[in-house]
Each structure stands twice: as structure tokens, then as C-alpha cells.
A and B are shown apart, each in its own frame.
Chain A
């Protein structure tokens, strides 16, 4: 029951944060020198036409009024429409969200599924060949720009080996390469995080206690070390998933996936303010929800975390 209460409380706390985010973004984007009416109507529009449209869009009002109107719109889930295409921002967002979520989700999934066992094993075999190997791998993955990794993978798997399609969407096979590239950074942080955490846990007294009780080394690790080492790792999964949604910008553009990322890039290039604004706010909400889920999972794993406090 307190879980439901906690969840509702957290979701309510998200509202002022989102309002604040909107405020910040609104005033930042207000700095934009572009003239939306001109942008929408094109260069050969007359001055009257522009003035009329500005009036219609409320752009002749003071900025505070515009902001309040925008906020009221957001509360009714109205994020306005694109200055470039004229489409409704929320509709476009929802249309493109599934591809991005799918991509970020598969990327996180494989990276977590692979990274945690690798990190734990490396910690258990500290200073061994496997440990050094995994350290070199994380080092490489951390220092490689994802667009470059994407190009290398495209050349190898698509152009040379012809195993996978290089770009586009349509089948699950199209998702393999982008998810692989997008998850690379998550993989590195998973390995590093779970290794560090595991090394720390292995030094704890309760591992020695378990051994003194007669548990074998393997049993002590499985029953006592792994659970304890996961708490900081779970937090990192949340951060990485949010990072994947951000990283999707690059991945989607290289693999021409029509998700949020490619939409955002075009919007930034065209300085399409309503689209950028709406997308960022909606992503902030998604990230907020992810953080909530992460905290709930952490509390489930670690009894010391008291959500009621």
C-alpha cells in the first residue's frame, strides 16, 4: 500500500520539476532570434500576413502571457504544432516514440544482461586475464565516439560481411546493429560499475562471516555478494537508460531510424522551437518515471532504503 502512496507522491513531485523545466526551456528558446511567422509562411509572405499570423499565434503578447498560455496548453497535453510541418507535436512524438523506446530498451537490455556478469566475474577473478581483458574493453568503449563505432560496424557487418541491413527500419534485424552500437556505452558502464561494486562487497565482513559458516567461495558470492553489489548498479541502469534515449539522437541519424532522435535533429537544425520544447519536456517526464522505477527496484533489493522517509 505504501508503495502506491509513494508512487503517487513521486509522480506529483514530478509536476513542479516539469513546470520548472518548461520555464527554463521557454526562456532559453525565447532567445532564439528566428521569426516563426516568417518561417512558417516563407520568405515571400507580406508584412500583413506575418503580422496576422503573429497575432494568431499570440506572439505579439508579452512573454509571460505566452508562457502561461503554453503551460496551460501543456496541462491539456497540447504542445502546439511544428513551425515547419504544421503537425501536432504530441502526435508526432507519440508516432516516433515506439522506435526510440524499442531501441533504447534493447540496447539497455543486452548491455545489462552481458555487462553485469562480466563485471562480477572480473571482480571475482581480480588481476586475472579476464579482469584485464574486461578493463581494456571498457576503456575502448568509453573512448570511442558512438557515431564512429556505428560506421565501423556498418562497414564490417553490412558492407563487408552482408549480415545485416545497414539502415532503415522494418524488421527486428534492422534493430540489431543500432541496439548494439547504442548499448556499447551502457555495456562499459555496467562492467565498470558492477566490478567496482563487487570488489567493494567482497571486502566486506559479512562475506567472511559466510565463509566462516561453511559456505564455499562460490556460494558466498552467489548468496551474499551479488545481491549487495547490485544496488549501485541498478541506479546506474536508470542513468544509462536515460543516456540511451539521449544517445539515440546519434544512432538514429546514422541508421536512419525515424525515431525521436532524428526528429529532434531536424527540429534543432530548422530551429523548430515547439518540437524541440515538446520533445524535451516529454523525454524529461519519461526519465522522471524511469528514475521512479529505479528507486522502487532499489528499495525492493535493499531493505535499508526506506521509501516512506
Chain B
């Protein structure tokens, strides 16, 4: 008997013994637990298979001799046999190629993940959450939401206190400033404030029905101050004569004709956010990327500032 078999048996027995001891002496030990028994069985088969395989190849190294035809070329004395490719290996190789094609074309979900797809899902989830939580809020909660949107989007020009930062943007704590009224009268206005195309004419189209002639410089100053003061003070007669036909005697505007110049309303603010605005101070860009509820909320907040 070859020494190597002897060594194989010695090592097998030693390792099995070690396994038996380490399992038997541990807490729980060799009880009937199925997982425990499976583990032990696996340990035994591992030991046996390992020893068997090692013996096989060591034997082969001891006894094997090379045969077959050598290829012509050799590299520093190392040659190559012209043997057939082993059948099992060749089949595995071809199967791997087939699997590779399947994996590339159908198996691996090449298009099942995309960054934009994840983004779209993310947006859908957020929008659904927004709908569920905020779609129906009103009153104070709407104003609160408006304030937070205002702080995120509007304060950069209108300032934290909505005062327009020293005239750099409109002061939203009052409906309208005198210079804004004056600018609109002198230059006309077409800001789609009601979502309609109808423009307000400039001073060459504004008649004062009280005097029967075009509005004058003095009248413009008076009526601008009147509107800016919240429709109080002198100038009511000019307003009635010139502006009331469209804006109403109380200045609250008429639907589809002219916006309110006396008070803010969420609808008015929403229209400004949708279309932007060009006026006495400069141009305000449209903020149509806000959603409908956010626009309504900003409207509610701005309306609450001047009430």
C-alpha cells in the first residue's frame, strides 16, 4: 500500500475526530437539530472529498507521463500539445457563449434601470404625497405654505419682509405703489393679469369722463396716490371718471375685464406667477414651475400681508 493512502486515512481520521470534538464539546453539541446535523454531514463530506481529490492528483503527478503530438513551435523549451479540447470543457465554453448572448440580449435587464426612470418614480411619489397631504388645505395652513414657498422662491427679489428691498422689487405689503400706478397709466399694461390678452391702454387712450378729455399729468399724480393709499384720500373723482369703467368704482376689478387694484387675491397672484410681469420697477419672470397649489398658497400669503 502506498504511503499516500496511509497518510490520507490518518488525516481523515484526525480531521473527523477534531470535528467530532469541536461539535460535541460546544454548547448544544450533537443534538437532533436538523441544521446542526446537516452542518456536521457537510463537514464530514468536505473532509472526505478533499482528501480523496488531493490523493488522486498527487498520485497522478507521481505516475503520469505525457503523451500526444507536440506543436511545432515552442517557447524557451516549453511546448504545446496538439490535443483535442476536452469535451466537457468545450461544451461548457460553447454554453457560456450562448448564455452570454442571452444575458446580453434578454437575461440582464439592460433597460430596466435608468437614472431618469428613478427620477420619474421619485417625482410621482412626491407628487402623490403632496396631493395626499396638502391638496385640500385652506385658511391659515395655506398661508403658512405660501410663506414657506415665498421664502424659498420670492424673497430673493421681494425680500424676507416682502418689502421689495428698497424698491428693488414690488413692495407686497400694499396692493400697489403710486409709481406703479403711474407707470401703468402712462405706458399701458399688458401683463395677462387675468389670463386674457386684453391690454390696458396707455395715457393716450384713457379719457376722464368728468372732463371729457384725456387724463392729465396732475390727474395721474392724484389718482396714483389715491390708488396707492388703498382707495382713500383725494382723487376718487378721477378714478370714477377714468378707471372705474374697467376696474370698478371700488377698484376691485371685474372678472375677465380688469384686475383688482384695491386688494390682492390668490387668482391675481397666480396669474402673475404664470405669466411674469413688466412694470415700473422692471421685469418679473414667470414662476410657472410652482404647482397650482403652491401658487394658490403664495397668493393667499401675499393677500394676507396687506389685509
Q: Do A and B bind each other?
A: no
Residues of A within 8 A of B (CB): none
Residues of B within 8 A of A (CB): none
